[in-house]
Structure formats: structure tokens, C-alpha cells
Amino acid sequence: MSRRAPQIRADDGPERVWYLALADGTVRESLSLPNVRSLLEVGVATADSHILRLGDTAWVRLGDHPVWPEVAPPTTTARFVAPVAVDPGVQSNQVHTATPRMQAIWQEQREIQQAKLQERNLQEDHGRFLQALGFACGVAGLICVGDIIVFTCSLGLAFMLLVGVVRLLSLWLVWRVLR
């Protein structure tokens, strides 16, 4: 049975007077016998589907209907044949179990890779800690500079100096990001 798409075409020949009820409950309407045959060929319909002619009242199993011999897919004449050896000179490969020595080598390599991964994770954790420490030191430094400015200058001048420091810091950060 082929799995090509059904080719239902408008044709002048056979009348489209058949309804076909499929196993999933859908009903295909206005079909001709070649349309029914093509639905059978692609596997959409089977002999267990039900068919009804326009004007009739009772659905009949397609395999039991008088049109079945006309629309039935052809029987295949293919036979099952056992495969023949490709080349008598070819020897089959045998799969052996791993020796204890190979298992020891694999285990050693596995342990080496795990140690490398753990070392890399420790370095990443250490780097993140140093980065957080640097950010905290930067914030503390800015707070100290702000305190020095506020306590040594008048309030208006201190505000202008703090705004200037913040603007310079933001310009430097933008420059670092865009670079």
C-alpha cells in the first residue's frame, strides 16, 4: 500500500455520488469510484470503512459492498526472501567486553576530567567573589568621597561636586561598555 497523497481531480467521467465514512468518524462526500480507489491506495480508507450511494439510506461496509472488487487495491505478489550473505570472504566482527585494564584507564580519565571541572568551578567561584568584593570596595570608596565632600564643603558646593562625580562615573561606565 503506497503512502502518496490522494489525487482527487475533477473529471468528466464517473459520477460523484458516493459518501465514504472513515474509521475516525469523518465523512468524505461527493466521491467517484476512482476517488474511493485513491483513498484506499493511500491508506485513508480501508475495507472496514462504510460507503453510501446518494439516495440510499443504509451505510454498507466497503468490503461487503458490490463495488469492492472494482475499487479494491491490487494484491501484491512480493514474497519474503531471506537475505543472502554479501561476500563469503567477509568475516564478522566480534564485540568484546572491556578488560579490567581498559576499565581502569577509563576510570582514570574520568577522574582527571572531573578534577579539571572542579578546579574550573573553584576558579569561577573565586573570580565571582573577587568581583563582588571589588564592587563593594568601589561603593565604599564613593561613599567615603561623598562624606569628605559633604563635611568639608558647603552644602551647595558639595551637591555640585557629588553630581559631577556621578556624571564622570556614568560617562566612564558608558565608555567602557561601548568600547
pLDDT of 105 reads: 92
pLDDT over 90 for what percent of the chain?
A: 14
- pLDDT confidence bin for 22, thresholds 50/70/90: confident
Residue 65 and residue 55 in contact, taking contact as beta carbons nearer than 8 Å: no
pLDDT of 89 reads: 66
Note the pLDDT tens digit of each residue in 137-162: 888 887 887 788 778 878 888 788 88
Note the pLDDT tens digit of each residue in 47-63: 888 898 888 888 989 88
State the average pLDDT for the chain. Answer: 82
Through-space distance between the first and last CA atoms of the chain, rounded to whole angstroms: 65
Q: Mean pLDDT over residues 60-88, rounded?
A: 76
Alpha-carbon torsion 30, 36, 42, 48, what sign?
positive
Task: Find the helix or strand (DSSP H, E) in which 53 lies.
Answer: strand 50-53
Q: 6 pLDDT exceeds 90?
A: no
- pLDDT confidence bin for 113, thresholds 50/70/90: very high
Distances (CA, A) of 126 to 113, 116, 131: 20, 15, 9
pLDDT of 122 reads: 93
pLDDT of 10 reads: 57
Q: 132 pLDDT exceeds 60?
A: yes
Instruction: Write the burial class of residue 36 (CB in 10 Å: 0-12 exposed, 13-18 middle, 19+ buried).
Output: buried
Q: Please tell me which residue, 73 or 131, carries the higher pLDDT value.
A: 131
- pLDDT confidence bin for 27, thresholds 50/70/90: confident
**Are β-strands 50-53 and 27-31 bridged in parallel, bridged antiparallel, or unpaired?**
unpaired
